[in-house]
Amino acid sequence: MHDATKKRWAWGRIHGAIAVPKGLLAAALVLAGWAAACEGCKATKPVKTQDITPATPTARLVLLSDLGAALEPCGCVADQRGGLARLGAFTEGNPFPVAVAAAGPTFFDCVDLDTSRAAQDTEKAQAVAGVLARTPFFFAPSRSDFAGGVERLRELVNTSRGKAVSGALTVAGQAFGAPGVVDMGPTKVAFLGYSGRSRDASVADVAGVQFGAEGGADGAALAKNVETLRAAGARFVVLLASGSRGEAQRIVDRAPGIDLLLVGTDAVRGEVIRDDVPLGRIEHTVVLQPASRLQSVVVVELVDRGGVFREGGLAEEGSRFSVRTEPMGAARAKSQGIGAILSAYDERLDGQNRVRYAGRVPVSVAAGEAHYLGVDVCTGCHTEPASVWRGTRHADAYATLTTRHKAFDLDCVGCHVTGYDKPGGSTVTHAKNLENVQCESCHGPGSKHVEGGGLKSAIVRKPDVAVCTGCHHEPHVDKSWRVEDAWPKILGHGHGRP
């Protein structure tokens, strides 16, 4: 106790002795620059010391929750948030060490791989791992991370050169992870994990995998781990928790030495985005849960001046850490290196999917039902609607994908073609004549209508608005998108108008 106080005091002195001359130098530079920029100004603005001597961090942690393999925003709307390339804005080119830590689904979003797209989702998970390999990485596996099985997850962890840190998570009775300790500049930072069982009864168990049980012994075990790690020199302790926020908070209650708790869930469940949860505090522990799918990250910066870390401004006395939520908006710089990994993934997937899904032919039509014909047939009798349609973006929707190597991406193609996965319609590899959002996307398959020489009863005159919202929904449209506003834009003389 006495020693610790003495050490802190000594550090304060050393810090002060360096900070003064640096501060004066900085002040002189700032004033010189200011005067040059503002010639003729009479008043000299007082310069606050804290503004011009920001403490340089000694380390930075970048924390993500529920990434859900969201590599990059789809691009359907301008200025979408998210995208792994923007992580680089925080992880690259810094004079201090940086680590990335994640809770909640990281490599996969859904809890089980859908067989129709397992190959693509596995490839995508590898791309995620390739990006994460660029920075020291720690995570608490969620139920979703086991979507491809235990061995697949081990491979992904290897590729990411990261560390699964949930000690209580076992596979065939053996611990799957262990606490991770990393030297970040002067500070030993420890990462521990808690991976809880899904509370959703419909989520099946993974054979041999035992998740932490709520209210179980995990909290006590973790508390012990924290003590051991502290005794071994860990000065900053982070708990990554995938599962129930309540249980994670109960663990913190039982394990007082945790500086940060990062919370994630067991599964992302599709494209739905969860917003930032405001920062919480339990005694000295700061509780974080940034928005899912990389809409935000939490950036934590440490200034190590010895002794105990406390949350606060980095320029304040003693060892400090600051916490801020950073939205991953369009203004954020993108890393070229990460961008290259993502482009390589797009190109690789484009090539692979053409081959691996080549046999995926359209579902056949039930006897007596109509199939899709394509716009060229309709144009033969409906020249005016066709020329109106050609003026809409629906007519170029496929080129939007081909120019980006995305036409064979299962995440994209469905809404940029006609009759996708419908009987007598298109598939990812069989979209000939049905490329773009054509007439039959809205009016339904037209073969019976045409066979009947324009049989009115065999075609939909006025599509339901649900047809539009089947493709026009978030995140592929802006929050402010209204079908009433969009509806008139696709009509014109001879197409729904005199």
Residues that bind ligand HEC (CB under 6 A): 74-77, 373, 375, 377-378, 380-382, 385-386, 389, 393-394, 396-397, 400, 404, 406, 409, 411-412, 414-416, 437-443, 446, 449-450, 453-454, 456, 459, 461-463, 467-468, 470-472, 476-477, 481, 483, 486-487, 489-491, 494-496
Q: Which is nearer to ligand HEC, 48 or 456 (CB)?
A: 456
Find out whether 264 and 105 touch, Cβ atoms under 8 Å: yes
First-to-last alpha carbon distance for the chain, in angstroms, is 87
Q: Which is nearer to ligand HEC, 304 or 409 (CB)?
A: 409
User: How many whole angstroms separate alpha carbon 372 and alpha carbon 445?
Assistant: 4
Tokens of 84: 């792994």
Tokens of 295: 């809409």
- Location of structure tokens 């990059």: 72
Closest distance of CB 278 from ligand HEC, Å? 30
Q: Which is nearer to ligand HEC, 42 or 479 (CB)?
A: 479
Closest distance of CB 117 from ligand HEC, Å? 12
Q: Which is nearer to ligand HEC, 241 or 373 (CB)?
A: 373
**Cis preceding-peptide flag for 475 (omega within 30 of 0):** yes
Q: Which is nearer to ligand HEC, 70 or 181 (CB)?
A: 70
**Neighbouring C-beta atoms of residue 438, cutoff 10 Å:** 26
Across 201-214, b (16+ Cβ under 10 Å) vs e yields: eeeeebeebbbbee
Closest distance of CB 399 from ligand HEC, Å? 7
Find out whether 274 and 292 touch, Cβ atoms under 8 Å: yes
User: How many whole angstroms separate alpha carbon 82 and alpha carbon 293?
Assistant: 7
In the chain, the amino acid numbered 381 is C
Q: Which is nearer to ligand HEC, 117 or 161 (CB)?
A: 117
Q: Which is nearer to ligand HEC, 60 or 394 (CB)?
A: 394
In the chain, the amino acid numbered 15 is H
Across 174-196, b (16+ Cβ under 10 Å) vs e yields: eebbebbbbebbebbbbbbbbbb
Closest distance of CB 55 from ligand HEC, Å? 41
Closest distance of CB 88 from ligand HEC, Å? 20
Closest distance of CB 80 from ligand HEC, Å? 10
Closest distance of CB 446 from ligand HEC, Å? 3
